[in-house]
Amino acid sequence: TISMIALHSSGVMAAGTSTNGAGRKVPGRVGDGPITGSGSYVDGDVGGCGATGDGDIMMRFLPCYQAVENLRLGMSPQSAAEDAVRRMLRKYPDVQSGIVVVDNEGAHGGAGSGWTFTYAYRGGGMGETVVVSVPPI
Amino acid sequence: SPGLPMVINTWGGPFTAATDAAYLALLESETSALDAVEIGCSTCEANQCDGSVGYGGSPDENCETTLDAMIMDGTTMKSGAVAALRRIKDAISVARAVLEHTTHTLLAGDFATDFAIANGFVAQNLTTEASAASCAQWKAGGCQPNYRINVTPDPAQSCGPYAPTSLNSSSSSAAAAYQSRGSPEGHD
């Protein structure tokens, strides 16, 4: 799954997700990808979020909605991501998840569980994309 | 923050082609944030990235690949999405058509396919030789792992077709406990 957030130079934001879901799924199964607030979420007033992982579990917690609302409550992107992952871990200690969060000024953070999650970003005058590795909670 | 414009997305490796495509597009004044997200995700759909995006990945029990996508505007908070989209490759672009040409948020299955075709998208087979072969191998191995529980024949041993087994109230929540799946197929 790719979940992406874009920040235009004007400050306007957008987010999106695209995935082919879980392999060997029961036909008709849909995971977190297309669910607004789970696969991705954005409010230009505060920031945006993108997620990946065990979609059957994650879509029950709307982790990206939670992360963006955490930003609105004053958390840093890093803390906002960690809080959203911890809420899932409390009920599903084995869940595989990855959350990347960015505020509307481009400050970013990520959190994950069950594997080593990574995210990529490129902004400002950067000549190439940088990949950040996030140790699992 | 590296400054704006900026693109950030899940995963590295093959996904950075999407990051670059979206970022470079944003350097063009006429590209909107929504355009950049569509360009970035479309790059992964075309390249299949790590196999978890786009055609030819994650076949279901019938060996069919279906696609899920959403796109959201951070100013209007409007969102467009497609779920279990069949026979159309450009999932994120169809999601954008839902956003721009309906007041809905989510269309699903064959109806989403009909909407895509009515919006000029081309129907095509999303199965590749590789996905068909991996699915045939999975079936030959007894369809393991799978997502079935509380059915007969035993889903830990056998393919379907499956029939539900009756549950007494105490067993259903215990039996439905989420079992972590180590295999790559276990996630979106």
* Statement: residue B164 has pLDDT above 80: yes
Closest CA to B176 of B143, B150, B145: B150
- Between positions 76 and 135 of A, the ones with CB within 8 A of B are 92, 94-96, 98, 100, 102-108, 114, 117-126, 128-129, 131-133
* Structure confidence at residue B182 (pLDDT): 42
**Please, is B14 exposed, middle or buried when counting C-beta atoms within 10 Å of its C-beta (0-12, 13-18, 19+)?**
middle
Per-residue pLDDT tens digits for A41-90? 999 999 999 999 999 999 999 999 999 999 999 999 999 999 999 999 99
* Structure confidence at residue B188 (pLDDT): 87
Report, as an integer, the average pLDDT of B16-24.
98
In B, minimum Cα distance to A93 occurs at B180
Which ipTM did the prediction report? 0.98
* Structure confidence at residue A3 (pLDDT): 98
CB contact under 8 A, B69 and A36: no
* Structure confidence at residue B187 (pLDDT): 79
In B, minimum Cα distance to A51 occurs at B10
The C-alpha atoms of residue A83 and residue B171 are separated, in whole angstroms, by 31
Per-residue pLDDT tens digits for B36-87? 999 999 999 999 999 999 999 999 999 999 999 999 999 999 999 999 999 9
The residues pairing with B80 across neighbouring beta strands, listed in sequence order, are B71
Residue A112 binned pLDDT confidence (cut-offs 50, 70, 90)? very high
Please give the positions of A annotated as active site.
1
Report, as an integer, the average pLDDT of B17-44.
98
Per-residue pLDDT tens digits for B89-115? 999 999 999 999 999 999 999 999 999
A72 touches chain B (CB under 8 A): no
* Statement: residue B177 has pLDDT above 60: no
CB contact under 8 A, A120 and B40: no
